[in-house]
Structure 1
Amino acid sequence: MPLVPLQADILGPDYRVETISLPPDDEGPVVATLVKLEPARPTGRAVLHVHGFADYFFHTEYAQWWAARGYTFYALDLRKYGRSLREHQTPHYVADLAEYFAEIDLAWWRITTRDGHRRVIASGHSTGGLTVPLWAHERRPDELAALVLNSPWFDMQGAAWLRSPAARVAIERIGTSRPRQQIPRRISGVYGRSLHRDHGGEWDYDLTWKPLESRPVHVGWLRAVRRGHAMLHAGLDIACPTLVLSSARSHFGQQTVETAATHDIVLDVQQIRHWASSVGRHVTSVAIEDAIHDVVLSRPHVRARAYDALATWLDAWVRPDADRAGSDEEDGEGHDPDHGDHGA
């Protein structure tokens, strides 16, 4: 496979980016995009992060946190999202979550075979937090050291009838006959405004790639998600340590900036905790007080607690395995250069 020099990314010169060509679908050419941040002191370890719905990678603080600990950080903008979205495409649409396995496979090859990383942590947020364990269960790569799932979408939130057999049958039938039919829904935009710096939030990102009002939901795509939920609920067999981070509480009533800034107003955190053990054999679930849906975009003191929990889990369950494998001794990295700095 010919190697193309990586280019500077929109996030700045420290971030390099490459386009991954994929087989065309019924809408035409398809690509994914891999973003990379190198650490100052590489350890042979890496992280691959996959975003959620109506999202893309702009989480520089999260990338820098991992890089400070010697991990080469990679983030994948999936097909039809963010950097990978093309004008001829229906944003985010796939008929099967397994379609994403192609770009995850190609990213994994670049990380492990091309770039030589022996131990890789796979990270996923929201829909990405569902897709990543499904991929890991199917592929079982030898280099997979751990999973970090940030508010993974493990079930259909909302009224109980949405999870009923009748609802599942309706989604299956309409998703088969009219897959691109949109599902009516009301989006307040409060969550987006609570994040973006032009609307009172802290973060700067492209509103054409991550709109304040989210994106339309199509029945065929929801069918794919519900099939993914069914696979998870049946039980996955992932042996590596898994960390599931979520907010301590959800809020689905009247939404204000304050509720959006201190609750998950997108997913039901009780469902996340209920299904966490279905991921595999070794799962740690941590609820972060006052966290939002994307935990690492919470207010500074809240995400400091999230990073502290992540560091504690990493040292307890992932780093000792790496040390026994000899990776630290081989790389001359016998300690974490920033150990103890778990904040923003």
Structure 2
Amino acid sequence: MEFREDILGAPYEAAELTLRPDDEGAVCATLVRRLVPGSERAVLYVHGYNDYFFQTNLADHYTALGFSFYALDLRKYGRSLRPHQSPNFVRHLAEYDEEIDEAVRIIRELDGHRQLLLNGHSTGGLIAALWAGRRAGRAVVDGLFLNSPFLSMPAGPAVRTVGGPAVTAIGRMAPTRVLPSSLNPHYTHSLHKDHQGEWDFDLTLKPAEGFPLYAGWLAAIHQGHRRLRSGLGIDVPVLLMASTRSISTTVWNEGLRRADAVLRADDIAAQGPRLGRHVTIVRIEDGIHDLVLSGEAARTRVFAELDHWLAAYLDVPAIEAPLIDAPLIDARPADARPAGESA
């Protein structure tokens, strides 16, 4: 393993992690890092579905706090996708344990960091949470920050109840069968500077229309959700953030700049207590799906809340800027509130 300059340029470096081959052949993951000399704190970021690490503003924030920053491009995603592979495909989410374990080993044993925060976004949040549950009691991670984690299918209970077993059966019999995708291209358009957004990233690694949706991958997600519903028993503090609202639209809508256009934010918050015994839930007004890419006021709130939590639970020195004034948000879904009670 050798770190070389990353596609983002200095100060980012990347190393290819060779993993066990699967049915499609050779497999690798990519570990990106930005070191803070002398730091004993580190954070490992795990991206979402149809995604890869490009969120340098997130790395900027962590390094300003004194964290060395690491990010994984998981197998068959982003920097790690190879021509012979089905993009994003796995049969079980536990397959990702291999690259997370290796990244943790490098961060702790080779690079010498004594404290480690795991930060997952969307599907990466589900993967990180399941991994942390399986590693409970081993003291390999000190906390989790989950940014709009994929803890529930963006559908009603009836659809989830009926559709889950059907998808699992299809995924078992025909794992690489391509299913109709509901990925909203307008979400990616709301992010990218060449459309309606302010961020620059590679649209071949994160295409607006997404990659094929495989039945086996979706079955793996359903299996992960079933495991979550039984409780994960994560034994370190967890910070879960989600927007205060979601939006569903097939055409461009300005509301895409102020709501989660991928998942149901209320459902994310409702599942939070199943993660472990020590879960902090924060709802972000005007937050989008990837909260750190929200509009300036919302992402300022995200970072302020993160800093406050890090100071309280991981003993990270508090920054000088106080939390911006904002009303408390009820984390419960509307249908869980007593009749007549509003948010």
Identical columns (%): 44
* Match of residue 39 from structure 1: 36
- Offset at 1:116? 1.1
Unaligned 5+ runs, structure 1:
323-334
Of the three residues 155, 166, 179, the one matched with 1:158 is 155
Aligned partners of 2:240 and 2:272 also within 8 Å:
yes
- Offset at 1:188? 4.2
3-state SS in 2 of match to 1:95? coil
Alpha-carbon distance in structure 1 between the residues aligned to 2:275 and 2:104: 20
* Match of residue 340 from structure 1: 321
- Offset at 1:197? 0.7
* Match of residue 330 from structure 1: none
* Match of residue 341 from structure 2: none
Question: Given the superposition, is the C-alpha separation of residues 109 and 187 from structure 1 closer, same or farther in structure 2, using an over 3 Å criterion?
Answer: closer
Runs of 4+ in 1 over 6 A off after TM superposition: none
**What are the residue-to-residue correspondences of 1:1-344 with 2, within 5 Å?**
4-39=1-36, 42-140=38-136, 141-164=138-161, 166-253=162-249, 255-319=251-315, 335=317, 339-340=320-321
Residue type matched to 1:233 in 2? R
3-state SS in 2 of match to 1:245? strand
Alpha-carbon distance in structure 1 between the residues aligned to 2:249 and 2:12: 39
Aligned partners of 2:93 and 2:224 also within 8 Å:
yes
3-state SS in 1 of match to 2:179? coil
Residue type matched to 1:272 in 2? I
Superposition TM-score, scaled by structure 2 size: 0.90
Superposition TM-score, scaled by structure 1 size: 0.90
CA RMSD in angstroms, aligned pairs only: 1.6
3-state SS in 2 of match to 1:244? strand
- Offset at 1:143? 3.6
Aligned length: 323
- Offset at 1:203? 0.8
Residue type matched to 2:23 in 1? D
3-state SS in 1 of match to 2:119? strand
Unaligned 5+ runs, structure 2:
325-343
3-state SS in 1 of match to 2:11? strand
Aligned partners of 2:184 and 2:261 also within 8 Å:
no
- Offset at 1:130? 0.3
1:159-186 CA distance string (max 9 Å, x none): 333211x322211211111111111134
1:174-225 CA distance string (max 9 Å, x none): 1111111111134441111110111121111111110011222111111100
3-state SS in 2 of match to 1:199? coil
Alpha-carbon distance in structure 1 between the residues aligned to 2:118 and 2:279: 14
Question: Given the superposition, is the C-alpha separation of residues 292 and 255 from structure 1 closer, same or farther in structure 2, using an over 3 Å criterion?
Answer: farther
Alpha-carbon distance in structure 2 between the residues aligned to 1:151 and 1:188: 16
- Offset at 1:26? 0.8
Question: Given the superposition, is the C-alpha separation of residues 341 and 63 from structure 1 closer, same or farther in structure 2, using an over 3 Å criterion?
Answer: farther
Alpha-carbon distance in structure 1 between the residues aligned to 2:323 and 2:108: 27
3-state SS in 2 of match to 1:302? helix
